[in-house]
Structure 1
Amino acid sequence: MAAMNPAPRVLIVDDDALVRGGLTMMLDGVRGITVVGEASDGDEVLAAADTHHPDIVLMDLRMPRVDGITATRRLRARTPPPEVVVLTTFDTDDNIVYALRAGASGFLLKDTPPARIVDAVLRVAEGEPILSASVTRRLMDRTATQADTHQRARAALDRLSPREHEVVLAVARGSSNAEIAAQLYMSVATVKAHVSNVLTKLDLDNRTQIALLSHDAGQT
């Protein structure tokens, strides 16, 4: 983490000049924040960071040449790295997860009230990750949904016999009936019977659904 000064130094990255100007007017000088520079695209970020030495970078996601997630990853690979707060109009689940995996310390929407953006910058400067309330709910719902799917898949596979379970794992690996028969020392007819039983027991339509269920259960 970059060493934080009493007055956080902020670099604003956005391809919209009006947005950059508005954020600068909103933040500069408020509660000790100093806006030290601007960049209009992700491909300008590293040079701007070299010039201005920000503690925090406010990062847009969608820019013409280099997107904000790529720029965030590049910044966070530096030593020491500045903190990055994504500020965007796009809050899809993938954007949130990719930005956080790239090393962002916060994810805010551009319709966040100004006072909350100021507070977020100060909190990140003190080492506290920050997410808007709506983003937090999205992540919690995503996590809950994934956990739910995993539990349901595990419960479904628990209904199978040990031999059927072995066949499921082989199907999930992409093995053909003949390959499964050779691997598990049974006839092709027996493999077909096991696959048919699995489809019936678990109310599935085809082998692809068997493979997906195995994946959801974390067994592939």
Structure 2
Amino acid sequence: MIRLLLVDDHTAFREALALICSIEEDISVISQAGSIEEARKYIQSVNFVLLDLGLPDGNGVDFVREIKSSNPACHVLVLTGSMNKLDLARAIDAGADGVMLKLSRVQDIIQAIRCISAGGSIHSPQEIAELLLLAGRARIEDANARDKIGQLTDREREILQAIAEGLSDKEIAARFNITVDTAHKHANNILRKLDTNSRLQAVLFALRHGAISL
């Protein structure tokens, strides 16, 4: 028997899918959860998790790793609305047994649950290899980005944040009680360390890798 946990913060979608799954003779819907915190209560009671990546209290990819660590026998099928292939690649790299879009037909989702539960795969070996390669490249890029960001001094991070807020060199100088020339030099150092050609590129790079916020 497939003991299923559905984890999705979209209540209407989750409840509708749970209702349809519960009709199937070989699927028992153990519970539903709208958050990672709520889902943790049921991980040891199920052998299959249908998981959305976009959850309100954490990263779905990280939760895939947590599920596989705490209950290695549990299968995880990621069902997401994200069209970003890197998101899907990271889920597979984290240990998900498969990834599908929410746009998929319900019967295709149920068929995928059965296939994975029986030890099969919904992806071809070539597709898995491509996704793992993509995730591997992303890990290298993330590591390189962390190294670049790590070169920034505390003051440079503050100035980069100010640039992201739209401040001019004159306004930055006034905020940090430095000269306009010093503010300009700090900005140039930031571009050099992040290997970017413009302030906009530097801001986008820092935002993408969590070094600053808006």
Give yes or no for TM over 0.5.
yes
- Where 2:55 maps in the other structure, the secondary structure is coil
Deviation at 1:75, TM superposition (A): 0.4
Q: Conserved in 1, the CA contact under 8 Å of 2:79 and 2:101?
A: yes
Which of 72, 86, 99 in structure 1 is aligned with 2:64?
72
Q: Conserved in 2, the CA contact under 8 Å of 1:39 and 1:48?
A: no
Q: Conserved in 1, the CA contact under 8 Å of 2:21 and 2:29?
A: yes
- Where 1:128 maps in the other structure, the secondary structure is coil
Q: Conserved in 1, the CA contact under 8 Å of 2:9 and 2:35?
A: yes
Deviation at 1:40, TM superposition (A): 0.7
Deviation at 1:97, TM superposition (A): 1.2
Q: Conserved in 1, the CA contact under 8 Å of 2:92 and 2:131?
A: no
RMSD over equivalenced CA pairs, Å: 2.8
2:91 counterpart letter in structure 1: A
- Are 1:46 and 2:46 matched, yes or no? no
The within-5 A match list for 1:31-110 is 31-50=25-44, 53-110=45-102
Deviation digits for residues 83-123 of structure 1, max 9, x if unmatched? 10000110312111110111100101111111111100001
Task: Classify 1:141/1:43 alpha carbon distance in 2 versus 1 (closer, same or farther; 3 Å).
Answer: closer
Q: Distance in 1 between matches of 2:30 and 2:38?
A: 15
Partner of 2:13: 19
- Where 2:87 maps in the other structure, the secondary structure is helix
Unaligned 5+ segments in structure 2 are: 137-194, 196-214
Deviation at 1:29, TM superposition (A): 2.8
Which of 123, 137, 142 in structure 1 is aligned with 2:115?
123
1:125 counterpart letter in structure 2: S
For normalisation by structure 2, the TM-score amounts to 0.56
Q: Distance in 2 between matches of 1:49 and 1:30?
A: 21
Q: Conserved in 1, the CA contact under 8 Å of 2:88 and 2:131?
A: no
Q: Distance in 1 between matches of 2:49 and 2:92?
A: 14
Say how many residue pairs are matched: 136
Greater Rg by CA? 1
Deviation at 1:142, TM superposition (A): 9.3
Unaligned 5+ segments in structure 1 are: 1-6, 147-207, 209-220
Partner of 1:28: 22
Q: Distance in 2 between matches of 1:75 and 1:143?
A: 23
Deviation at 1:39, TM superposition (A): 0.9
Q: Distance in 2 between matches of 1:141 and 1:47?
A: 30
* Fraction of identical pairs, as percent: 25
1:106 counterpart letter in structure 2: G
For normalisation by structure 1, the TM-score amounts to 0.55
Deviation digits for residues 125-176 of structure 1, max 9, x if unmatched? 1111224x9xx869759969x9xxxxxxxxxxxxxxxxxxxxxxxxxxxxxx
